[in-house]
Amino acid sequence: MPVITCIEDLRRLAQRRVPRMFYDYADSGSWTESTYRANEADFQPIRLRQRVAVNMEGRSTRTTMVGQPVAMPVALAPTGLTGMQHADGEILAARAARAFGVPFTLSTMSICSIEDVAQHAGEGFWFQLYVMRDRDFIERLIDRAKAARCGALVLTLDLQILGQRHKDLKNGLSAPPKLTLPNILNMMTKPRWCLGMLGTPRRQFGNIVGHVKGVEDMGSLSAWTAQQFDPRLNWGDVEWIKKRWGGKLILKGIMDVEDAKLAVDSGADAIIVSNHGGRQLDGAESSIRALPRIVDAVGSKIEVHLDGGIRSGQDVLKAWALGARGTYIGRAFLYGLGAMGEAGVTKVLEIIHKELDLTMAFTGHTNIETVDRSILIPGTYPTA
């Protein structure tokens, strides 16, 4: 086993261990992937002010996200097909998040169901909702999340239609994978993954199969999902969902100040500045560049979070300094999961926490609540 020191080490290990179609699903964007790359790259020019001769004892990264205590301002982002990166992937990730003290957000398009994950997740179990044309199904899904005692509902607003992801089309992405000759040959080189999948019954979309009339297998599921994402989604639907849910509501996919203001008017508890990891509108601005403008416009009225491009604890601290009161890691935890299962997700959280803690100390702070833009070198970070 190689020595793991950073998220990139886990990415390389995951690439060796996860079948190509599922690794590519996680590690890709839409069209030219320019926004996907910018999400990560735009953190790099931001420079930190190093401070010295400051008492660094008694450091704390603890804070809250939508009123819920967290060990650091990080949540595991909702990611589809997580249970195809590693057998029972959502359950393993939820267990790691619970032990570490950060939220885990389950995707509507997960392999393990809400009920599966609820048995392993703690108070930091959140559920992400896609709006489908079948409103009866959506109502039942919200009710299932309530029954599972999810602490927040994350409503994704930027997937009314699906962005074109070239790698998924070329790989013929499906869950479980179609047994074509190229897929079989590729899976033969991933024995750990294959053994894990042989040992679990969870190989389909657990929140959908068996919960929608007429959807009992992958063939009928593909036909159903192709027509179900609702392009008519609007702010009236957000109001309806908020009323039906009744708990903490987080709106994901905000990249524009006008949309941020409408989100405030909707009564949501938080927004996530996110471009869906560069998987929808290629050519959109990176999340970190959009963040300061949105924080300046609505940060005093609603809690602002950030998703996209975070690969280190330094990225978390930079986002916090620019006004994000929470961040989400998607690809980073998927790399850990694909590389080493639950232990890999734990390793990701440990790496990010250590980098966050040390960087905070080097900038002269012992409590993340006191960190602001003053830790950044003027002219190196995006402004409103």
335 labeled part of a ligand binding site: no
331 labeled part of a ligand binding site: yes
135 labeled part of a ligand binding site: no
220 labeled part of a ligand binding site: no
Can you read off the two tokens belonging to residue 106? 């389950």
308 labeled part of a ligand binding site: yes
Which letter does DSSP use for residue 363 in this model? Answer: T
- 276 as an active site residue: the answer is yes
3-state SS class at 199: coil
Can you read off the two tokens belonging to residue 364? 């002269």
3-state SS class at 367: strand
Q: How many Å separate Cα 299 from the centre of its chain?
A: 21
The dihedral sign for the CA sequence 127, 129, 134, 135: positive
120, 276, 305, 353: the catalytic one is 276
Q: Are 298 and 261 in contact (CB under 8 A)?
A: yes
Do strands 63-65 and 68-70 pair parallel, antiparallel, or not at all (unpaired)? antiparallel
36 labeled part of a ligand binding site: no
3-state SS class at 328: strand
Give residues with Cβ within 8 angstroms of 139, minimum separation 6.
244
107 labeled part of a ligand binding site: yes
| Position 100, amino acid | F
CA atoms of 111 and 206, how far apart (whole Å): 5
Rounded to the nearest 5°, which phi and psi values hold at 341? 65, -145
CA atoms of 224 and 186, how far apart (whole Å): 28
Q: According to DSSP H, which parts of 284-366 are helical?
A: 287-298, 313-321, 331-340, 342-362
Which letter does DSSP use for residue 103 in this model? Answer: -
17 labeled part of a ligand binding site: no
79 labeled part of a ligand binding site: yes
Question: Terminal CA-to-CA distance of the chain, rounded, Å?
Answer: 45
Binding-site residues sit at 25, 78-80, 107, 128, 130, 156, 165, 252, 274, 276, 279, 307-311, 330-331
Binding-site residues for glyoxylate sit at 25, 165, 276, 279
Binding-site residues for FMN sit at 78-80, 107, 128, 130, 156, 252, 274, 307-311, 330-331
Catalytic residues: 276
